[in-house]
Structures are given as C-alpha cells and as structure tokens.
Amino acid sequence: MNAFLRWLFFSRWTLLLNLVLGGLVWGRDVELLNVSFDISRELFQAYNPVFVEHWRKSGGGSLVIQQSHAGSSKQARAVIDGLEGDVVTFNLVSDIEALASRGLVAADWRQRFPNDSSPFTSTIVFLTRRGNPKGIRDWSDLARPGVSVIVPNPKTSGNGKYSYLAAYGYALRQFGQNDQRAREFVASIFRNVPVMEAGGRAASTTFVQREIGDVLLTFEAEVLLNLQEFGTNRFERVTPTVSVQAEMPVAVVERVAKRRGTLVLAKAYLDFLFTEAGQDIAAQNYYRPRLDSVARRHAGLFPALELLSVDRTFGGWRKATEVHFAEGGVFDQVINQISRR
C-alpha cells in the first residue's frame, strides 16, 4: 500500500472514530440519558447546557442530553426493568446498590468518583405557610394533634426515606435510643399525613398548589426552590435542630453505556459535577456543595444544623432498608398500626 492509500485508509477510520467520540454517528447527535430523582429537574436544566458547551470545547462534538425524573427508588426499579440510562444521579445509595447487585453498575461504583461518588448533599427541612400558624419549630411539633404533614412516600421516594429516618433519628436521641418509643413517635407523625405522594415534586404540588397541609417535609433544595418560585410572602423555611445528611450519589450504568458506546462521555458527564463549575451550579440550585471554596461562597444559603449520618445512626443503607423499608419492615408496621386505628 503506497503512502497516499495508507493515509486515506487511516484518515477514514480516524474521522469515523472522531465522529463517534465527538458526538456524531452517521449524522446524528450522540444522546446521553440521565435517569435522576424527582426534584432535580431544575438542577440539570442548568447543568446540562454548561456541560454540553464544555464537551464541545474539549473536542467532544455535538451532544444531546435527555432527562428522566421520578422518585429515586422508582427510577432504580425502572432502570432494572429496562430503562436505558447511561448515567444515574440518585439521592439514595441503596438505589445504586440495587443496580450494582444486578451488574448494571460497577461493584466498586463508590470509588469511581470523589466523596464516595456523591458530588453534593442536602438535608430534610420544613416548609410552612407564611407566619407559621401552627408554630412548627422541630420534629416534635409534627407529632401534635391537628398538624397536617405532607411527606413523600418512603417506599418510592428518596426524600420520603430521608424524612422518615430524620424523624426516627431525632426520636432515638430524644428517648435514649429506645426503639419502641421512636416507632411510636414516627407513627404519631405519619398519623398526621393525609396523603403520601410518590415523589418529592408531587408532594410539593400537593402542599403549595393544592394547599393541603400545614407543613411540607422535603429536601432543603426543594424548599428553597419553592420559596424562590412562590415567594416568602406565602411560605417560610423552618430548619429543625437535627436532621439527616442526604447524599446524592451518581454512577455510570456501565452495561448500557458500553453497549451504546457512551462510556467515556458518561464518565465525563459525571466528572464535571465535581469541578468548580459543576459545584457552583449545584449550589446555585440549592444543593450543598462538597468543594470548600464553593461552599464558602454560598454559605448564606445553608444554615448550620446537626446532621445525622445514615451509616452511624442506622448501620448503613443496606441495614436501614432491610429494617425499615423492606416488605413488612418497620415503616410497613407503622402504617399498618395507623390503619387499624
């Protein structure tokens, strides 16, 4: 083969490789699907265009990012049942572990990115109506008769699970680690719940737009977003004395990304969440950033409070899921107890 033919042969394959990696396969934009939790819509609406531009400037080429949103645990089930996400950005470690147990995600997924693959965090706080007419200040106020509490369903929603665990952890501290009294306390709160929506955004709609309930339990990011959108003349944030640290773990769905040829892109998409630019977008959308430099710039958004660890308080997500959220677990027992009364 003469020099010209060798150049033509290798140039042809180099061009095709660049088209694939750069975002064009036979004239089509490369697509990446991010399967995410219910209330992260605004976060990724802000993040995706910035990453697309970063990818283009880095030589990656044209890219279209699609989003799928629902309760975190519901999304995990959808991926297991065949939803072909290239990446997952959830709010529960246990939901990604469920994918890892089926070989969809690498077994060591927590070591693939910094901070145990959790680029930012949140916590559970309260949203009340303007003037806080029921005088709700802490978890104990949610158990009072006559207080109507809106919370997502812990069976299908990450912030529902975190809300439940935050209340349970508070009760354990109040009652000297007495598990029975903690159960009774949580039951007294859920007795005040008129409806449990499947996800956090639906719970917000119930509270904010349908005007049901005296207080909404949800992620701090969702509370601040509601205040931004609907105004402090209608609602107030209440930060309890104690809550739970909510990790927001991410992972590449390697089985899907390898098949679709998006493995490098999927990793780059998640890597960018840990950069200064990605962290700043997270903070602007009310998630607590991990980078100290970004956290300092946005410190006024995030009041200090004592944050319980799921690992230390409940023995980790695997144990918490088995004890509290599995079929017939403590949460089911609490709901059945309420239903019988």
Same domain, 186 and 200: yes
Q: What is the pTM of this model?
A: 0.88
Give the pLDDT of residue 95. Answer: 94
7 vs 228, residue with greater confidence:
228
Residue-averaged pLDDT of the chain: 91
Give the pLDDT of residue 337. Answer: 87
- d(CA 192, CA 149) in angstroms, rounded, equals 6
- Answer for the pair 309, 166: CB distance below 8 angstroms, yes or no: no
16: in domain: yes
For 36, 38, 90, 158, the CA distances from 75, given in Å and listed in that order, are: 7, 9, 8, 10
Which range of residues forms the domain containing residue 68?
3-119+248-274
Averaged pLDDT for residues 272-283: 98
CATH number of the domain bearing residue 222: 3.40.190.10
Same domain, 195 and 269: no
Is the pLDDT at 301 greater than 50? The verdict is yes
Give the pLDDT of residue 284. Answer: 97
Same domain, 86 and 136: no
DSSP letter for each residue of 187-246: HHHHTT-S---SSHHHHHHHHHTS---SEEEEEHHHHHHHHHHH-TTTEEEE--SEEEEE
Same domain, 228 and 259: no
Averaged pLDDT for residues 240-250: 97
59 vs 15, residue with greater confidence:
59
- How large a percentage of the chain has pLDDT more than 90? 86
Same domain, 206 and 326: yes
333: in domain: yes
Give the pLDDT of residue 10. Answer: 39
Same domain, 16 and 115: yes
Averaged pLDDT for residues 317-339: 94
Averaged pLDDT for residues 224-242: 96
280: in domain: no
Banded pLDDT at 339 (limits 50, 70, 90): confident
DSSP β-bridge partners for residue 306: 242
Give the pLDDT of residue 71. Answer: 86
Averaged pLDDT for residues 261-290: 98
Q: Tokens 């230390």 correspond to what residue?
A: 312
Give the pLDDT of residue 341. Answer: 66
CA 126, 128, 131, 135 torsion-angle sign? negative
Structurally, the chain folds into a number of domains equal to 2
